[in-house]
Structures are given as C-alpha cells and as structure tokens.
Amino acid sequence: MKMKEETLTKEIVYDGKIITVRSDTARTPEGDVVPREVVEHPGGVGIAMEDEEGKFFMVTQYRYAQECVTIEFPAGKKEYGEDPLTTAQREIIEETGYEGTDFVYLGKMFPTPAYDSEVVDFYYTKKGAYRGQHLDDDEYLNLSRMTLDEIIDGAVEGRIPDAKTMCMALLIQQMKLRK
C-alpha cells in the first residue's frame, strides 16, 4: 500500500532561533489535498556518560516550555548539517566539563514525528579527562550522578519524564544485558 504523501506547497510562517514553522499542503496517496504543519528543527543528541563507579552524569535544569525542573541525560542541539558525534563530543564537555571516550552510537529517536522534523541521536560514552564546563549564557543546570537502576526507577515512578532519558536508559540497559 502506498503511504507517502507528495508535498505541493511550503510556506514558512515563523523563522526563529531554534525552530522554523511551515504551513504546507500535501497530496495523500488517495489524491486528497490536505494541510500539514511542520516544525523544522536541526536535531540534537543525548549523551549517557558513565564514570568509573558505574554512575551516569545527569543534568537538572528548568525547562521553560514544561514549566518545571527536569532530570535528564546531558543533551544538546546540533548545528544545521553538523555530524551528531561532533555535537555529542562538544555538548558533553560543555555541560559536564568532562570529555567522553569511546563513544558508542545507541540509535535515534523521533520525539514527535507527527509534526516535528527533529531527530535525536543517542550516544553512550565513558568519562574522560576534565576540561572545564562551558555552559551557554542562558543555560543553568546542576550536575549529579545516578546509577542506571536509579534512572530507570525515576522514569517508572514519574520523577524522570524526559523522553530521551527514558529511551536511552532502556537502550543502555539492553546493551549491558546483551554483552
């Protein structure tokens, strides 16, 4: 069964610092012309960095859109066209101060595929040398370390509702079980 839709028109209705919003029209496989709204985003990465004690670096920060403080794996936005590994290597130092070593690609996630083009690539890494934390001017976060079991318990109990963190915890758990 044919499922792909044909894009007929694209109109940018908002062009911001982080996202662009489009109002498109598309033709369905049955021939109907339908409106489609798309949020364009350059994508991002999530990084699970484990230390020598088997604990993972976590960031606690206020998320404006959700109006709450969250606990998450470190993450960051890609520059348009940037390789996700390059983003991961940069972001882990920026947010934790430590470089990662032996990066392992865990996979990717489409956070909201119905209307958003964002793709989040996931990486697992070991803690390397301390290089100094370099937060963005508008970035405020606290670092902590948690075991994988504590992260999973936090997700199951509703204290860690961040989608990328939940997905990454599952992938890491399975990676460790399958070794």
Model confidence at 1, pLDDT cuts 50, 70, 90, reads confident
Q: How many residues does the chain have?
A: 179
Q: Report residue 69's pLDDT band, with 50, 70 and 90 as the boundaries.
A: very high
Q: pLDDT grade, residue 87 (50/70/90)?
A: very high
Read off the pLDDT band of 54 (50, 70, 90): very high
Q: Which residues contact 37 (CB under 8 A, 6 or more apart)?
A: 21, 22, 23, 24, 115
Mean pLDDT, to the nearest integer, of 148-167?
98
- Provide the pLDDT confidence category of residue 137 given band limits of 50, 70 and 90: confident
CA separation (Å) from 173 to 22, 42, 107, 159?
Answer: 38, 28, 14, 19
Q: Are the C-beta atoms of 163 and 155 separated by less than 8 Å?
A: no
What percentage of the chain carries pLDDT values higher than 70?
100
Written as one letter, the residue type at 178 is R
As a whole number, mean pLDDT of residues 38-54 equals 97
Question: With a threshold of 0.85, does the pTM exceed it?
Answer: yes
Residue in 25, 28, 45 with CA at minimum distance from that of residue 37? 25
**Average pLDDT over the chain, rounded to an integer:** 96
Domain boundaries along the sequence of the chain: 6-40, 44-177
d(CA 95, CA 76): 9
**Residue environment code for 164-177, b if the CB has 16+ CB neighbours within 10 A, otherwise e:** bbbbbbebbeeeee
Superfamily of domain 44-177: Nucleoside Triphosphate Pyrophosphohydrolase (3.90.79.10)
Quick one: average pLDDT of 70-80? 95
Tokens of 78: 């890609």
d(C-alpha 36, C-alpha 25), whole Å: 6
Q: Which of the four pLDDT bands, split at 50, 70 and 90, describes residue 135?
A: confident
Question: Average pLDDT of 107-131?
Answer: 97
Please give the structure tokens belonging to residue 106. 């865990």
Distance of alpha carbon 31 from the chain centroid: 35
**What is the band of 131 on the pLDDT scale with cuts at 50, 70, 90?**
very high
